[in-house]
Amino acid sequence: MDDVDPRRLIPRTNDLLALPAVHEARKRLSERVIRDVIRKAQEQARRGELEPGRVGQSVVAALAARRATTLRPVLNATGVVVHTNLGRAPLSAQAIDALLAASGYVDVELDLAEGTRSRRGAGARAALLAACPAAEDALVVNNGAAALVLATTALAAGREVVVSRGELVEIGAGFRLPDLIESTGAVLHEVGATNRTHLHDYADALSPETGCVLKVHPSNFRVEGFTSAVPLRELSSLAAANGAPLVADLGSGLLAPDPCLPHEPDAATALADGADVVIASGDKLLGGPQAGLLLGRREIIARLARHPLARAVRADKLALAALEATVAGDPPPVVRSLHADGRDLRRRTEALAQALGVPLVPHDGRVGGGGAPGVPLAGWALRLPEGLAVLLRTGEPAVLPRVHDGSCLVDLRCVPEEDDERVLAAVRQALAALDDAPAGRAG
């Protein structure tokens, strides 16, 4: 009698679909995803990579681990507060509640009392104006780059945008401000030099062809030495005298001055200094969802809101809800991390260092996200073997440390205190795995 082909022993799809674990998985996963998991397990068995008798176990295990999203929560132990690769700002509890409330039908564009259409995102707009009274009106779009594109398109398409050469920055992932602005149909009129721009440079450039004057905060770098830049207050007087709107792109998202970041520009001061429109991000120092904020003179904001492009870049209901809750609620995690008490950070880090038997070292965190470049945030970190970094990143929970000078540094500044025990468990697990590795513990 011939041997039975082992592939004949692979469970049939219908039999696998009838498993209790598969029925349970249907509460959170689509039928397509479930069938894909089953198909992959069957294909592994056909290739001889999986025993036919273990196909069902493999399917059950894969479905248990499968989530509707592939995004993984990460504990940020880098000391970088606004970490772009981790989605920038973690939302506050109030913003998370607002997201859940807005996930169904909400009155985002409806006056319930009158039963008529209302201004979109009125709550977020009101919250922003209450937090930044210097602004006459506000408009929210989907990110900071969109805010800049909308402003330059509505004010200067087919005309000139006057801007200093020293402010034509690259904003990340290869995107450069000159390319962004020129994509709107505006013509860049660069003035000054990379390191020095004077008021007369702007004055010489202003003409009937000027659509707007743009002032950009460099945000993620500093130019030092033989430098000169024109203060916003001086530039606003010149722009006003020539009838040119002045747009100030601040980037980082402070609505008011922060004593921890004395050199970081804020919307209230920029508006008081004469900016007609201030542009900022919602997911940086403001600590909210991804959004582009435009604050300024009522007639200018109205002009931007009426432009057809405003429809294409508008914020969705989730961003509007989370933004309103961020501005109106308790200080969000970004603000708490920036203002973290050094004594508390040391106490928490010392407790973990003692439990693990590893060194405690001083460690300067950073603002991140293009905010306050070079400003150190004094704190503490666990110093661990460098080889632990990959184990922590790929463990459960995922912990992102900083790798520096041959060490793996774990900084608790951006880790909620209630997660300290999870960090401790993750480090212990990683140390154990490193000890079990053939090379032993490194560092």
Q: Which amino acid is at 41?
A: A
Strand stretches in 369-406, DSSP E: 377-385, 398-400, 402-404
363 beta partners = 379
CATH class of the domain at 91-329: alpha beta
Q: Please, are residues 285 and 258 in contact by the beta-carbon 8 Å criterion?
A: yes
pLDDT at 439: 54
Q: Which of 51, 47, 46, 56 is nearest to 11 (CA)?
A: 56
Query: How much of the chain, in percent, has pLDDT values that exceed 70?
Result: 96
**Is it true that 74-83+335-436 and 91-329 share their CATH fold?**
no
Domain spans in the chain, listed from the N-terminal domain onward: 74-83+335-436, 91-329
3-state helix, strand, coil in the chain (%, to 5): 40, 20, 40
Burial of 181 (0-12, 13-18, 19+ CB in 10 A): buried
At residue 119, the 3 state secondary structure works out as coil
pLDDT at 441: 43
Under the banding of pLDDT at 50, 70 and 90, the label for residue 370 is confident
Tens of pLDDT, residue by residue over 41-86, are 999 999 999 999 999 999 999 999 998 888 999 999 999 999 999 9
pLDDT at 2: 56
192: left (phi over 0), alpha (psi -120 to 50) or beta: left
CA 307 to chain centre: 27
Q: Is domain 74-83+335-436 classified as CATH 3.90.1150.180?
A: yes
pLDDT at 442: 43
Provide mean pLDDT across the span 232-259: 94
Tens of pLDDT, residue by residue over 220-244, are 667 777 888 999 999 999 999 999 9
Q: Please, are residues 369 and 284 in contact by the beta-carbon 8 Å criterion?
A: yes
Under the banding of pLDDT at 50, 70 and 90, the label for residue 4 is low
pLDDT at 3: 67
Asked if pLDDT for residue 436 goes beyond 80, the answer is no
pLDDT at 252: 81
